[in-house]
Amino acid sequence: MLATILKQKRAELGFTQSAVAQKLHVRRQTISSWETGKSYPDIPTLVAISNLYDLSLDYMLKGDERYIKQVKKDYQLINQKKDSRWLNRALGIVLALTLLPVAFTPFVQTDSQARWIGIIAMISALILIPLSYLKLKSFYHGDSKDLFVPKSMGVGITINPNHPLGFLIWLVLEVTLFGFFIYMLLTPA
């Protein structure tokens, strides 16, 4: 186990926790947490420990299932953040495109122009709903089994996308909006 290896090697080298903390640029409590298995060093720090203690990474990590699980969990979080970045950009662009037609409403002079502004806003909303659904789904990770959950930003509640009924509500909302869009296209101006 990594915690045992770190504690034994530090003692073998005659280092105090404070001395190791100073060399690794962390707090002494951090060293204590690593040696008790309450937390783990990140990969760059683990490499620095490997150099300081003259231990191979392979030796330190072999057999420590908890550390391997923690590393996998960390990589999942990193990948989620990467996925979230493109989703945030897409949401921002589509939201801007949704609000853009509103800026042109004072200049509308004909029913045809008003209709096209409505169509553009409707298309943006049709894209915004699935993106919002994906954002909420990535935020909640299925943690809550409730249909209504607190909003991730701001005050209020929203529909839990990980709840089976929540998914159905999101789907009905999108299909309904799509129906209005088709009706809008087929209705003469």
Q: In angstroms, rounded to a whole number, what is the distance separating the alpha carbons of residues 42 and 47?
A: 9
Beta strands (DSSP E) in the chain are 148-150, 157-159
| Average pLDDT of the segment spanning 112-129 | 89
Q: In angstroms, rounded to a whole number, what is the distance separating the alpha carbons of residues 105 and 108?
A: 5
Does residue 189 carry a pLDDT above 70? no
**Alpha-carbon 170 to chain mean position:** 20
Q: Who contacts 162 (Cβ-Cβ below 8 Å, separation ≥6)?
A: 137, 140, 141, 142, 143, 144
**Window from 1-5, 99-103, 142-146, 149-153 with minimum mean pLDDT:** 142-146
Task: Say if residues 39 and 33 touch (Cβ distance below 8 Å).
Answer: yes
pLDDT at 183: 92
pLDDT at 129: 92
Q: In angstroms, rounded to a whole number, what is the distance separating the alpha carbons of residues 1 and 117?
A: 64
pLDDT bucket at 68, cuts 50 / 70 / 90? confident
**Window from 25-39, 61-75, 109-123 with minimum mean pLDDT:** 61-75
Give the tens place of pLDDT for each residue, 8-37.
999 999 999 999 999 999 999 999 999 998
Phi first, then psi, for residue 161 (nearest 5°) are: -75, -15
Name which of 127, 124, 101 is nearest 114 in CA terms.
101
DSSP letters for 119-163: HHHHHHHHHHHHHHHHHHHHHHTT----SEEE-SSSSSEEE-TTS
pLDDT at 142: 62
Sign, CA dihedral 96-97-102-105, equals positive
CATH architecture classification, 2-63: Orthogonal Bundle (1.10)
Does residue 160 carry a pLDDT above 70? yes
Give the tens place of pLDDT for each residue, 81-109.
777 788 889 989 998 888 888 888 888 89
Name which of 93, 39, 114 is nearest 71 in CA terms.
39
Average pLDDT, the chain: 87
